[in-house]
Amino acid sequence: MKLEHDVVQDLYPLYLEDDLSPSVKTAVDEHLKECEECKTFYETGEKSFQINEIEEPIVPQSLDEKIILKMKLTRLRLISVVLAVIIFSMILTDYVNEREKMFMAVSDYYVAIENSPQMFDSIKNKEQSDLMHIEQTFFQLFEGIMEIEEYMNFIESKFYDSTAFHLSLNTQRLNSMVQVMKTRYNQGRWSETDEAAFQALKEYFKKQEDITSVEYSKTHHGYSSYLHILDVKKLDKFYENVNLLSYSYTRFHKMPEQIKVLREAELKSRIASTLDINKDDIDLKKENPVNAMYVYRFEIGNGYGGEIDAISGQITHYFGDTGPLRDGPIMDQKEAEKKAMSYLEKIYGKDLNLELVSLGFNFNSFADDSRYKVYSFKAVPKVKGYTLYTPLETETILNLNARNGKLESFDHNRHVPSFDELDVVDLTGSSGNIDDKKAVIIYSAITGNFELVFMKPDLEYFQEDKFISVKTGLEEKIYIDAF
C-alpha cells in the first residue's frame, strides 16, 4: 500500500495513539523510510512549508474602504470639535459684546432719568417759562430705551413681549401735559387735580430713577453683570403709570382712578344696538394702549368693523358691508339725510344738536367704478348757534350707500374725545362776535371740557394757540389727540 504525503500527515494523530490498523501502520512506516519530510514531521510534530507554497491572504477591498472611512470620520469628529469650540467662542464673544452695549445703554438711560423728579419744579416757577429741558429729558428717555431694546437678550425680549406698554412713552401727550400744567399754574387755575397729577408725576419718575439705579449697579458689578437679566416688567410699570396719567389729565383733567371704563359686554351691546347686528357676531380686541388708550377694535366678519371708545361708549370709526356694487336708482337726498341723522342719533344720542352738511357724492373716494355711489355728509355739532371748532381741518364724516341707505363708513373727529356734555357748555358772558373776533366752542386741553372762546377765523391764530375764554378772558389751548 502506497500512501501520499497528505494522507500520511493526516494520519499523524492516529499514528501517535496507535489507532491505525496493522496494514495502514505498515504503509505509513514504509513511507517514512522513503520520505524525509514526513519523517521530520512525525519526529517533531512541526510541518514545514516552502515560502513559495504559502498563499498570500486576500484582503477584501471593502476592508480598505472601511479603514479609510474610519479615518475620515475621525478627522471629521476632530474638525467638528474644533468648529464647536470656535463657534462657542464666537457666540460667547458676541454675547459679551452685546451685554457690554446693554450696560452702556443702561448707563445712558440712568443719566437721563437721574434727578429727573426735580426738573418738574420749573412747572411751578413763574419766572421760568421755558420747559425745553423737560422735553429734552423725555426725548433722552426715548432714545435710551430704544438702545436698551436693541441689546436685549432672548430672555429679556420674552419679558418685553409680555409687558403691557413695551417700554413706550407717548412723549407728545406727556409734553402737552406739562405745558397745560404750566399754563394752569401761571393763570392761577391750579387745583387739587393739578397737584395730585404733579405729585404723581414726580413720584413715578423717582421710582423709575430708583429702579434704574439698581439696574445700573447690577450691570456694573464685574463678571456677574454678564449673567444679570434686566427687570423689564418692573421698568414697564413706569410707562404704564405715566401713560395713564398723561392721558386722563390731558383728555379729562382727571386722575386715572377717576376714569370709568365700560366693560367689554357693554361695548358689544352698544355696537350691536347702533349697527343693528347680533352682539354674538362681534369680536373685540384692545388696541395698543400707548397711542390708542381705552380703544377697542371690533370686527363683524369679512374684514368689516371699526373702533369704539371704552370710556364714552361711542363708535369712533366704522367701515361696513353695504352689499355688492350694482346699478340702480339713487335714493333721494332728503331721504339720505334722514338716514344719516338716524345713524348719528344712535351713535351720539337724540339730544345732540347736529348740523348735517352735504359733501356730495363719494367724498374723499378714489373709486373708479361708476356703480360706486355714496352720499357723504359732515356732522357739525352746534350749541345755541355756536359751532364746535376743531383743529387741522378734521371733521366728523359719514358715508351712506346712495342706493340702499346703509351706513358704509363713519369717522368721528379724533380731536374731540366725545360729544358728551357738549350741550351743557357754559355760555355765560358770551356775546357772539366782538370786534373782529369770532366766538366758537372748542374742546379745551386746559380744562378738559368744552369751552366758548374767541378766535380769529384764520388758522394763524390756531397755530399760535390764540384762543381766549369768553367767560374768564384767559388763554385756552385746544385739545390735540396725541396718537
Q: What are phi and psi of 444, to 5 degrees?
A: -85, 130
Name the domain count of the chain. 3
Residue 422 lies in a domain: no
pLDDT value of position 464: 55
Question: Are 377 and 299 part of one and the same domain?
Answer: yes
pLDDT value of position 103: 92
Question: Are 185 and 281 part of one and the same domain?
Answer: no
Percentages helix, strand, coil for the chain (3-state, rounded to 5) are: 50, 15, 35
Tell me how crowded residue 170 is: count the other CB atoms within 10 A of its CB. Answer: 23
Question: Are 84 and 179 part of one and the same domain?
Answer: yes
- Specify the DSSP element, H or E, that contains 382: strand 374-383
CA distance 134 to 112: 11
pLDDT value of position 50: 46
Question: Are 120 and 252 part of one and the same domain?
Answer: yes
Residue 58 lies in a domain: no
Say if CB 47 and CB 41 are below 8 A apart: yes
- Specify the DSSP element, H or E, that contains 73: helix 61-113
The residue among 163, 169, 192 whose CA lies nearest residue 244 is 169
The residue out of 238, 258, 278 marking a domain boundary is 258
Residue 149 lies in a domain: yes
Q: What are phi and psi of 20, to 5 degrees?
A: -85, 150
Distances (CA, A) of 336 to 208, 220, 326, 330, 375: 55, 69, 18, 10, 7
Residue 170 lies in a domain: yes
Say if CB 415 and CB 443 are below 8 A apart: yes
Q: List, as one string, the DSSP characters of 263-312.
A: -HHHHHHHHHHHHT--GGG-EEEEPPTTTSTTEEEEEEETTEEEEEETTT
Question: Are 301 and 163 part of one and the same domain?
Answer: no
pLDDT value of position 49: 45
pLDDT value of position 80: 85
Amino acid (one-letter) located at 339: K
| Bridge partners (DSSP) listed for residue 455 | 438
Distances (CA, A) of 19 to 14, 23, 40, 169: 5, 12, 21, 111
Instruction: Quickly tell me which residue has 339725510 as its cell.
Output: 337
pLDDT value of position 156: 92
Tell me how crowded residue 54 is: count the other CB atoms within 10 A of its CB. Answer: 8
CA distance 442 to 462: 11
The residue out of 228, 258, 288 marking a domain boundary is 258
How many CA within 13 A on the CB side of residue 130?
Answer: 3
Question: Are 293 and 322 part of one and the same domain?
Answer: yes
The residue among 441, 324, 346 whose CA lies nearest residue 386 is 441
The residue out of 243, 258, 273 marking a domain boundary is 258
pLDDT value of position 58: 54
Say if CB 439 and CB 423 are below 8 A apart: no
Say if CB 76 and CB 82 are below 8 A apart: no
Per-10-residue mean pLDDT, the chain, length 483:
71 72 76 79 63 51 68 83 84 84 92 89 90 92 92 92 93 94 94 96 95 93 88 95 95 93 94 91 91 91 90 93 89 94 88 87 83 92 85 86 93 89 73 61 90 72 69 87 76
pLDDT value of position 4: 75
Question: Are 28 and 147 part of one and the same domain?
Answer: no
pLDDT value of position 54: 46
CA distance 192 to 198: 10
Question: Are 308 and 376 part of one and the same domain?
Answer: yes
The residue among 270, 244, 271, 272 whose CA lies nearest residue 258 is 244
Question: Are 49 and 177 part of one and the same domain?
Answer: no
pLDDT value of position 116: 86
Question: Are 275 and 133 part of one and the same domain?
Answer: no
Question: Are 400 and 252 part of one and the same domain?
Answer: no
Q: What angle do CA 228, 230, 235 make, to 5 degrees?
A: 155
Helices (H), 310-435: 333-348
Tell me how crowded residue 254 is: count the other CB atoms within 10 A of its CB. Answer: 15
Which structural domain, as residue segments, surrounds residue 14? 5-53
Question: Are 225 and 254 part of one and the same domain?
Answer: yes
Evaluate the CA torsion angle 443, 445, 449, 453 in order and state its sign.
negative
